Amino acid sequence: MRIRLPLSAGITEYEMNSAGPLAALPGSPPSSRVAFAAAHVVMDPASAGQPRPRLDMAATLAVRRRLWSLGLGVAEAMDTAQRGMGLNWEMAKELIRQSALEAGACHTALACGANTDQLAQGLVPTLDQVLDAYEEQCAFIEDCGAQVILMASRALVRCARGPDDYHFIYGRLLSQLQRPAILHWLGESFDSELKGYWGETDFSRSMEVVLALIAANRDKIDGIKISLLDSQQEIEMRRRLPAGVRMYTGDDFHYPELIRGDGSHFSHALLGIFDGIAPAAACALRALDRGDLKAYDEFLAPTLPLSRHIFQAPTHHYKAGLVFLAFLNGYQDRFLMLAGLENARSVAHFAELFVLADRARLLVDPELAISRMKGFLAIHGGCGVSPQ
């Protein structure tokens, strides 16, 4: 099968991968690593252009059921779900509630993002207002029966005067939780408003703040997810974590090597890219469980060019790539996103994504993917602005 694509090198007749799609059968969670996929949301097309867009909850929950069926946990209402980029707290509450009901029925893992996004955008709040906002969200998540992920807060950056304020907020929150939480360190490449998080701008000093926070609240912390896109910084920090505190990689550029480990230490996973590469991730983790490192590498290596393409700068637009891949695979009927973010990348970017997904054997129905890609090109034209 062939398809004519407007790639960065010019209009190209692309021949599809003869190996066909990767088959991943339903299975149990991996035993050697804890693995969460941060899942995207599906917008209700009927609400497009309306002042208050809605989620297509049936399609959104179907995304989560597919991830759970492959043995992956779901990280809900995170930045991959457009938190702070179209998904507000009221929408997130319903999403968390519905996902928690599904997770309970499936007896599977669900962790949900607690943030402070019910506070007015641009407001410089007090620390008490930040604390109240976090507490409301943490209580809601735990009342739903899910684990809390303490997301990085834009509001806290705006009002914190230094590391002591972060210790105060996190110490109070952690002391109230019913079960250990996952901390969340999101780098400014994902969100420029988080520059200076932890009260420092230098990585080494920031790391010392976080390690001190973990040491002071050891029993209340399951682990920490860091998304800094710098594998050496993650490796440096995970070597210094207390025994039993997990490092969850959020590095969508280097995840195969970080999860594989260096013989002494390894990272668990809490990744947006796992939403798009779930079959390969499931197969790779099962290979890791049985000690087959060769198979592990073979499953994940082809996904890395795709991930680096989806997460290229400006990195925060990666959600568009994941939703487009879901559209190609038939997991949603239209390529639409909250806040119009389907327009965040160029036509050429999506054409390159199609090729990389096919090479990674992640187009589950190649004929459908070709049909949908042709329809997309017919609407948007065979060429676009330079890839972003």
Higher pLDDT, 387 or 314: 314
pLDDT averaged over every residue in the chain: 95
Q: What is the CATH number of domain 22-301?
A: 3.20.20.70
- Confidence check: pLDDT of 384 > 60: no
What pLDDT does residue 382 have? 60
Domain ranges (residues) in the chain: 22-301
Residue 144 or 380, more confident: 144
- With a pLDDT cut of 90, the percent of the chain lying above it is 92
pLDDT confidence band for 122 (50 / 70 / 90): confident
The verdict on whether omega for the bond into residue 387 sits within 30 degrees of 0, i.e. cis, is: no
* Confidence (pTM): 0.95
**C-alpha–C-alpha distance, residues 255 and 261, integer Å:** 10
Query: Over the stretch 261-279, which tens digit does the pLDDT of each residue have?
Result: 999 999 999 999 999 999 9
Phi, psi of 22 (to 5 degrees): -75, 130
Closest CA to 96 of 141, 60, 31: 141
Q: Is the pLDDT of residue 385 over 80?
A: no
| pLDDT single digits (tens) 334-351 | 999 999 999 999 999 999
